Amino acid sequence: MRSKQKVLVVEDHKDSCLWISAIMRQSGFETIEANDGTLGVQLARKERPDLILLDIHLPAGSGYFVLESLKKVDETRSIPVIIMTGDLEIDEEEMKRLGAASTFKKPMDVQDFIKTIRAVLSNYKNVNLMLPA
């Protein structure tokens, strides 16, 4: 059993991806990165992370495509996804309807971001503990 929770960061802007991954590692998480939507879906299926941080505007499959793809299959359906976007027009209710656990607008306040990540992971863990085996 691994000691650190694994987070998949799906972000096409290299600097943003490095910054988010660094924050996650400093907060005690293991990270893996994908710079486009297709790779994000592939890594989610292969690595089975505890959480996915997903940008909406991506090459090779938008964040909408990634979210819908992840929620369609049993192996990734229950992985919580937090949307990260600089798009001020994003419909947060639509994102939740599609299966996102939360939505964060860029630039993100680091403390609020980590607090939300920990809350989502805690809720996800508690929900899975209540599911029948």
Which residue's entry shows tokens 């919580």? 80
Per-residue tens of pLDDT for the chain, all 133 residues: 557 999 999 999 999 999 999 999 999 999 999 999 999 999 999 999 999 999 999 988 888 899 999 999 999 999 999 999 988 788 888 889 999 999 998 888 999 999 999 999 998 875 544 444 4
One-letter identity of residue 112: D
- The architecture of the domain spanning 6-130 is 3-Layer(aba) Sandwich (3.40)
Gap between the Cα atoms of 103 and 88, Å rounded: 11
pLDDT tens-place string over residues 75-92 = 999 999 999 998 878 888
Q: Which helix (H) or strand (E) holds 34?
A: strand 30-34
What predicted TM-score, i.e. pTM, was given to this entire model?
0.90
What are residue 84's DSSP bridge partners? Answer: 55, 104
CB-based contacts of 64, cutoff 8 Å, min separation 6: 56, 98
Residue pair 7/50 in contact by the 8 Å Cβ criterion: yes
Q: Express as a percent the part of the chain with pLDDT over 70.
A: 92
Domain boundaries, the chain: 6-130
How far are the Cα atoms of 3, 66, 133 from residue 77, in angstroms, in the given order? 23, 11, 16
